């Protein structure tokens, strides 16, 4: 499997709304290879999620995986493939947390997100998948699904003064949580 090149902010694909994946396309060898390569790429860059537009493919597909050893999460999230996801907030309550992004390397900022969301999508085999998520998993879902609409975490920041280079953040705010990447 290949490690794919990650699109950085400034590349048009990062800011485009992605096209839905046709259900007939999900089982194709090309789409399945894309999913496999997205997983390999996410692991290579120590991410917990990756959206297809981040690897120069303007399709509504996301991979998420949070290992049990990840201190940011209350629980592990097994490898989850989301095709054409729809995210619905469950309530108005929001929480703020540090986020980063493979498409905006080296920077972090504080981003408000809904604390709880409902997720509906198709899985890797094209079967319906639904889940309710809270905490870090809800944050990762929202972050990755934003990419499908051409948004990055910078667009969600309420106070740009929190935008920090990772190295400086660790040096001057040592208790800052690790960010979503």
What does the block give as tokens for 169? 């953040």
Q: State whether residue 159 is helix, strand or coil.
A: coil
What percent of the chain has pLDDT above 70?
A: 97
pLDDT at 178 over 60: no
> Is 125 known to be catalytic?
no
Q: What is the pLDDT of residue 109?
A: 96
Q: Looking at per-residue confidence, does 76 or 108 come out higher?
A: 108
**Interval 164-175: pLDDT, tens:** 998 898 888 876
**Interval 111-164: pLDDT, tens:** 999 999 999 999 999 999 999 999 999 999 999 999 999 999 999 999 999 999
Do 114 and 90 contact (CB within 8 A), yes or no? yes
Sign of the four-CA dihedral 34, 67, 150, 61: positive
Superfamily of domain 12-172: Peptide deformylase (3.90.45.10)
What average pLDDT score do residues 75-85 get?
94
Q: Which of 37, 65, 99, 144 is catalytic?
A: 144
**Interval 63-72: pLDDT, tens:** 999 987 777 7
């Amino acid at each position: 499997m290949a490690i794919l090149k990650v699109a950085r902010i400034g590349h048009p694909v990062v800011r485009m709304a992605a096209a839905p994946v046709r259900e007939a396309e999900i089982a194709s060898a090309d789409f399945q290879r894309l999913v496999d390569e997205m997983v390999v790429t996410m692991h290579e860059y120590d991410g917990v999620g990756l959206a297809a537009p981040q690897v120069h493919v303007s399709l509504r597909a996301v991979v998420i995986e949070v290992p049990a050893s990840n201190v940011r999460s209350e629980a592990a999230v097994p490898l989850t493939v989301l095709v054409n996801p729809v995210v619905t907030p469950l309530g108005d309550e929001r929480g703020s947390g540090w986020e980063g992004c493979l498409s905006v390397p080296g920077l972090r900022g504080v981003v408000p997100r809904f604390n709880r969301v409902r997720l509906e999508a198709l899985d890797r085999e094209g079967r319906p998948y639904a889940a309710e998520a809270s905490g870090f998993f809800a944050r990762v879902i929202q972050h990755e699904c934003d990419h499908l609409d051409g948004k990055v975490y910078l667009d969600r920041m309420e106070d740009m003064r929190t935008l920090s280079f990772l190295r400086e953040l660790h040096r001057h705010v040592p208790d800052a949580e690790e960010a979503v990447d």
